[in-house]
Structure 1
Amino acid sequence: MSRPRTAAARLAEIRESFWLLPAIFSVGAVLSAIGLSALELQLDLPFGGVVPSGPSGARSLLSSIITAMISFTALVFSITVVALQLASSQYSPRVLRTFLQDRIIQATLGTFVATFLFAMVVLAALPDQANQGLPELSLAVSIALVLVSSATFIYYLHHITTVMRVSHIIGSIGAQTRRSIAGLPPPDDPQVVVLGEVTQTVPASEPGMVSNVDLPLLARLAREHDCAITVVPTPGDFVVAGAPLLRIHRIADATPRPVPVEAAEQGVTIGVERTPGQDLGFGFRQLADIAERALSPGINDVTTAVRAGQEAHDLLRRLATRPDPTHIVRDDDGTVRAQMRSISYDTILAMIIDDIRLVSRQQPRVQRLLDSVVHDVASVALPVHHAAIRRRLPTPAADNLP
């Protein structure tokens, strides 16, 4: 699978990764231990009495800390991984990403590893002779880190049991999707832009999910080659190798120059899974998955399905007052240089209303909720969405919709 190739895309991938915060904690612990131990041994700082039994006692203390923290970290996160796997199998495999991006979980792992690494470096800095000075302050910091790790573990237990509750998972998905909605272009932007003839088509070099599109990069590329660029798939779509990825359009009377395929491909990130952000439908897909799985015979949790539908209701109502978004980058004179469609309101309704309604035929609570959701969004929706909503209303109500 291809990976982000632009600097902005690489930085975004690093910021969202699970390892970044633990790595920062680990590097900070190693550097602090080296600096503090060297400073104490060189300057003979006036700290004493922390380890009254001398170097042998210090080694015993640090060895115990190292051994305990390695075992403790492995045990805690082994149990956590099992718990997360059970949660993802009950709700949806796609919600596992929410846990991996949780900063508390990352900070807890970072604290445990930092305690282990700090103690290991201090152990290596201990002098061989009993008459030599000990890094007393470093030993005190090691003990303090153990206390911090213990407090962090207690808070971690509280946090992990909270975030694994289904109501919290659904609320997190809703909050994430609302941020994606807030990042959509203003509703008063022109939504239909007719570009010139297609002069070149850039195919996808390999299959995968479209996770991110760098429109500013594509716009700069279009200016350099006197053309306009349209992204064919929307974020969240799966593209097959060889399928159209980008289309190059003629601008007015200008003669576009061929756009290098490799340079154009850098504007579209293709990965192995969907990601939030530009993919507006990802949150709706997770909510629909949770509701459908909750209604399966093996789980039969109608209350969870209703809660997922209620969260989707708020999101659908927000989108009903906006036209289907098209992200556009223009020059100062208004010339369109790059554009990308987002998922349509009709597709989102099909994901939430049609899919859940299909598996909830024997659940009156869910059916009543879906009917009330469609009626409510119909009362606030723009005329452009009326046709999609009308198809999902009962016949008498659909006849009253303009």
Structure 2
Amino acid sequence: MSRTGTASARLTEVRDGFWLLPAVFAVGAVASAIGLSALEFRLNLPFGGILPGGPAGARSLLSSIITAMISFTALVFSITIVALQLTSSQYSPRVLRTFLQDRIIQATLGTFVATFLFAMVVLAALPAEEDEGLPELSLAVSMALVLASSGIFIYYLHHITTVMRVSQIIASIGAQTRRSIERLPPPDEPQAAVLGEVTQTVPAVEPGMLSHVDLALLARLARQYDCAITVLPVPGDFVVEGAPLVRVHRATDSPAARSVPADRINQGMTIGVERTPGQDLGFGFRQLADIAERALSPGINDVTTAVRALQETHDLLRRLAIRPDPTHVVRDRDGTVRVRMNGIAYDTLLAMVIDDVRLLSGQQPRVARLLDEIVGDLATIALPAHLTAIVRRLPSSAGDSD
């Protein structure tokens, strides 16, 4: 959840929210029930005899559906909460986002809520007199929704037991981080520096995690005020209130400096209470390192889980070893640099994974050997810019031989 943020970040927060899909299902169910019931009564559709029993039987049927759906919904919610608690305590509290964004869990809850609301609206539309017609098509749809809910509930039990497995959690984090790597600037993009003198420093208006920067918005501001903008923290960093957030540079050919309104710059910065995937490349590495470290703790002592997390991290580090440290640059068509923001450094990722896990692997030769193999493999393919950080983490014998 972000306290201040860009429009795109707020839109992403809404789109990924746990409540959105159930809310869509609920609104759709209410609208469908009202529309279908009204259509049946107004047009007198020929569906008589589908569900015989009169208004009393229909009320009994719908009341049973409503009661059952309330119980189903409570059960699904309880199972989801237990899954979140187990995952948080066993692996890492930072992997909860994976469960909350799971569309199957959201769709299951949404289907149960939709069935409950559909039946409730149809119940309210039933006639009071025995000789009046019934919205039998709506009653049939209610029964169909019950059957669909039963099938979804069975699949939900299978799905939740699958996604709670640590291998699935690790693979999901890895896939999410690979998507973040694919969105990085091209590795052959020329490096750029902002050369103009600093004319303004914009501080952070509140503390929190910098999760997203709207580079396009900052570029428009830079063009409007004829300047260049440098973002100081890296996405994923914690910023304290009043700390420098952005520096404004005078364009090299600009005769006079123009001040950029700080509130407009802050509109392009998303500062929240937690890290999020996307521009924050280190978030996935942090989750995998947390899983490995917790698995090696004396209370859990699950070496296999630690090894699996390191294997996933190895693939991610290998992909980044052949790329320079990411730098996000927005240029004008003539090549003028308008915005520059650094990404997380490769050395920082190595420290997060290799150094932190190595401290806990002293009594686990299997993990220690794997860490040495990972570093040795990275040294064979890495760009020269990363070799210093990698060689520093090689085993002593390998480092001496070099």
TM range (shorter): over 0.9
Counterpart secondary structure, 1:104: helix
- Distance, in Å, in 1 between the alignment partners of 2:182 and 2:241 is 32
Q: Counterpart amino acid of 2:302?
A: D
- Distance, in Å, in 2 between the alignment partners of 1:332 and 1:319 is 28
**How far is 1:171 from its partner?**
0.3
**How far is 1:2 from its partner?**
5.4
Q: Deviations over 1:222-243 (max 9, x none)?
A: 1000101111111100000000
Q: How does 1:79-158 map to 2 (within 5 A)?
A: 79-158=79-158
Change (3 A) 1:324 1:399: farther
Unaligned runs of 5+ in 1: none
Q: Counterpart amino acid of 1:268?
A: M
Counterpart secondary structure, 1:155: helix
**How far is 1:165 from its partner?**
0.1
Q: 1:48 corresponds to which residue?
A: 48
Q: 2:11 corresponds to which residue?
A: 11
**How far is 1:394 from its partner?**
1.9
**How far is 1:257 from its partner?**
1.1
- Amino-acid identity (%): 78
- Distance, in Å, in 2 between the alignment partners of 1:389 and 1:2 is 35
**186-195 vs 247-256, greater mean Cα deviation:** 186-195
Q: 1:318 corresponds to which residue?
A: 319
- Distance, in Å, in 2 between the alignment partners of 1:272 and 1:58 is 50
Q: Is 2:348 the counterpart of 1:347?
A: yes
Q: 1:191 touches 1:325 (CA, 8 Å); kept in 2?
A: no
Q: Is 2:382 the counterpart of 1:381?
A: yes
Q: Counterpart amino acid of 1:292?
A: E
Q: 1:211 touches 1:279 (CA, 8 Å); kept in 2?
A: yes
- Distance, in Å, in 2 between the alignment partners of 1:31 and 1:385 is 58
- Distance, in Å, in 1 between the alignment partners of 2:293 and 2:190 is 36
- Distance, in Å, in 1 between the alignment partners of 2:106 and 2:54 is 36
**How far is 1:395 from its partner?**
3.2
Q: 2:198 corresponds to which residue?
A: 198
- Distance, in Å, in 2 between the alignment partners of 1:190 and 1:46 is 71
- Distance, in Å, in 1 between the alignment partners of 2:357 and 2:150 is 44
Q: 1:209 corresponds to which residue?
A: 209
- Distance, in Å, in 2 between the alignment partners of 1:4 and 1:121 is 39
- Distance, in Å, in 2 between the alignment partners of 1:300 and 1:5 is 40
**How far is 1:192 from its partner?**
4.5
Q: 2:277 touches 2:284 (CA, 8 Å); kept in 1?
A: yes
Q: Is 2:359 the counterpart of 1:358?
A: yes
Q: How does 1:122-271 map to 2 (within 5 A)?
A: 122-254=122-254, 255-271=256-272
TM-score by length of 2: 0.98
Q: 2:91 touches 2:290 (CA, 8 Å); kept in 1?
A: yes
Counterpart secondary structure, 1:3: strand
Q: How does 1:28-43 map to 2 (within 5 A)?
A: 28-43=28-43
Q: 1:2 touches 1:206 (CA, 8 Å); kept in 2?
A: no
Q: 2:203 touches 2:244 (CA, 8 Å); kept in 1?
A: yes
- Distance, in Å, in 2 between the alignment partners of 1:130 and 1:5 is 58
Q: 1:233 touches 1:239 (CA, 8 Å); kept in 2?
A: yes
**How far is 1:12 from its partner?**
1.4
Q: Counterpart amino acid of 1:303?
A: T
Q: 2:55 touches 2:134 (CA, 8 Å); kept in 1?
A: yes
Q: 1:60 corresponds to which residue?
A: 60
- Distance, in Å, in 1 between the alignment partners of 2:319 and 2:72 is 46
Equivalences, count: 401
Change (3 A) 1:211 1:3: same
TM-score by length of 1: 0.98
Q: Counterpart amino acid of 2:239?
A: V
Q: Counterpart amino acid of 2:186?
A: P
**How far is 1:400 from its partner?**
5.5
Q: 1:210 touches 1:268 (CA, 8 Å); kept in 2?
A: yes
- Distance, in Å, in 1 between the alignment partners of 2:224 and 2:336 is 14
- Distance, in Å, in 2 between the alignment partners of 1:136 and 1:83 is 39
Counterpart secondary structure, 1:312: helix
Q: 1:274 corresponds to which residue?
A: 275
* RMSD over equivalenced CA pairs, Å: 1.2
Counterpart secondary structure, 2:277: coil
Q: 1:59 touches 1:123 (CA, 8 Å); kept in 2?
A: yes
**191-200 vs 101-110, greater mean Cα deviation:** 191-200
- Distance, in Å, in 1 between the alignment partners of 2:22 and 2:184 is 32
Q: 2:194 touches 2:337 (CA, 8 Å); kept in 1?
A: no
Q: Deviations over 1:153-201 (max 9, x none)?
A: 0000110000000000000000000000000000111234142111101
Q: 1:357 touches 1:367 (CA, 8 Å); kept in 2?
A: yes
**How far is 1:8 from its partner?**
2.2
